[in-house]
Amino acid sequence: MTLSVQDVHTYYGRSHVLQGISLDVADGETVALLGRNGAGKTTTMRSIVGLTPARRGRITLDGTDITGLTTHRIARHGIAFVPSGRRAYASLTVRQNLALSIRRSSDSGGWTLDRVLETFPKLQQLSDRRAGHLSGGEQQMLKLGRALLSVPRILLLDEPTEGLSPAIVSDLGRWLGILKEEKITVLITEQNALFALKYADRGYIIEKGLVRHEAPASELRESTEIQRYLGVAASA
Ligand SMILES: Nc1ncnc2c1ncn2[C@@H]1O[C@H](COP(=O)(O)OP(=O)(O)OP(=O)(O)O)[C@@H](O)[C@H]1O
């Protein structure tokens, strides 16, 4: 599986936000998409999943052109988008939220409800709690569980640490470690660059809607220049 974004241009009205983004994510890789506020990270993800469709360029999954498809059809190709913020059905319980995401298909990809609850025991403990009563970190875990149940070929995680306390961020790190062990392909955007680079294999730095730099995560982790540019806090 390879997700390939080639020379994508995306607009909000007249505002030309993505000005020719190109990137690739290969099977089993974790790739970080980094950049300052407003660089276009979220818009890149929204373009991939068709929420803010690309006006020019091509997005392919294993060579199949998915540019211009509806968000629903793109999801059926196996791209799961986990947006930042709280997006669960607040009045439903955790278990009901998860049940809604179970893909009715013979190809479960191994991610059954039981397996998700085993992998994230906290979700099991919370299974009767209404989603609206969960903390920010618990909501993140629920969104991740739901995304896995949709049998993704690739997970797009948009700023998963946003608004979370340091303790919850370290929980989230453990979940990312699990995704990596499971060889799940991940594209992750983060303001917290060092957090993402801990788990990523490679990273792209984007600026004003263009890729400015691409390098192995180890190199980006070491580069004080990059860290200064991103305004990275020393502790992550
Ligand atoms: N709905 C919208 N309408 C108009 N402009 C928008 C909209 N959403 C984002 N933008 C603009 O597009 C640019 C890229 O935003 P985007 O959210 O993709 O950046 P980002 O890199 O994810 O930054 P952040 O980390 O701050 O979310 C910004 O200049 C932003 O102001």
Domains along the sequence of the chain with CATH? 1-78+153-236 (3.40.50.300), 85-151 (no CATH)
Q: Residue 20 has what pLDDT? A: 98
Q: What integer pLDDT is reported at residue 234 of this predicted model? A: 41
For residue 93, the model assigns a pLDDT of 93
41 in ligand 1 pocket by Cβ < 6 Å? yes
d(CA 27, CA 37) in angstroms, rounded, equals: 28
**Whether the CB of 235 sits within 6 Å of ligand 1:** no
8, 11, 14, 15: residue to mutate for ligand 1 pocket, most atoms within 8 A of CB:
15
pTM tops 0.90: yes
Helix (H) or strand (E) holding 32: strand 30-34
- Per-residue pLDDT, 115: 85
Among 12, 18, 156, 206, the mutation site with the greatest number of ligand 1 atoms within 8 A of its Cβ is: 12
| Ligand 1, pocket-test mutation among 11, 14, 17, most atoms within 8 A of CB | 17
* Sheet with 202-207, side-by-side order of all strands: 79-82, 154-158, 186-190, 30-34, 202-207, 210-216
CA atoms within 13 A on the CB side of 171: 17
- Alpha carbon nearest to ligand 1 atom 26, residue: 37
Q: Which atom of ligand 1 is nearest to the CA of 191?
A: 25
172 lines ligand 1 (CB under 6 A): no
Instruction: Note down pLDDT in tens along the chain; length 236 residues.
Output: 799 999 999 999 999 999 999 999 999 999 999 999 999 999 999 999 999 999 999 999 999 999 999 999 999 999 999 998 766 778 899 999 998 888 665 555 678 888 888 888 888 999 999 999 988 888 888 998 999 888 789 999 999 998 888 888 888 898 899 888 888 999 999 988 999 999 999 999 999 999 999 999 999 999 988 888 887 654 44
